[in-house]
Structures are given as C-alpha cells and as structure tokens.
C-alpha cells in the first residue's frame, strides 16, 4: 500500500456531523415500538455519541431530546 499525501481525504467536523445525523435519522425513522427498543436505541445513540465526541461534535446537535434523556438515565 502506497501512502501518499495526495490520497488523504480531509474530513471536517460539519461533514461528520451531517453523516452522523443521517445515520441517526435512518435508524430512528423506521423503528416501531417493540420489546427492547429502548435498550437498542440507547446503545445506538451511545455509539453515535461516542464517535461525535471523538471528533468534537456535540451529540445533542443531532439526537432527539428523548434519546439524549435515555443516555442520561443510569
């Protein structure tokens, strides 16, 4: 594998924020109420939030208030 500076594709915080929001929307738009949904949503939101925080994006900029609350519940 040849590493070349010309091969570097820069990502910007806004690009990543839009990508995370798109993934989040795709996941939440098709969900229906089911047993274990809250646990799944909490895990999904936590995973996206981890990536967001790693690149300096505030997760509350794309998570619903309900999912932010799920992450706060212990």
Say what the pTM is: 0.69
Q: What mean pLDDT do residues 40-59 have? A: 90
Q: Percent of the chain at pLDDT above 70?
A: 86
* Residue among 45, 7, 4 nearest 23 (CA): 45
Q: What mean pLDDT do residues 62-72 have? A: 90
**pLDDT (tens digit per residue) in 49-58:** 999 998 889 9
Those residues whose C-beta lies under 8 Å from the C-beta of residue 53, and which sit 6 or more positions away, are 59
Between CA 16 and CA 30 the distance in angstroms is 22
CB 65 within 8 A of CB 34: no
Q: Determine the pLDDT at residue 59.
A: 93
Q: Determine the pLDDT at residue 63.
A: 93
């Amino acid at each position: 594998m040849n590493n070349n500076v010309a091969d570097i594709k820069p990502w910007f915080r806004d690009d990543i924020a839009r990508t995370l929001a798109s993934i989040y929307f795709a996941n939440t738009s098709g969900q229906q109420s089911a047993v274990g949904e809250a646990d799944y949503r909490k895990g999904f939101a936590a995973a996206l939030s981890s990536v967001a925080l790693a690149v300096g994006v505030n997760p509350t900029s794309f998570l619903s208030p309900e999912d932010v609350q799920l992450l706060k519940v212990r």
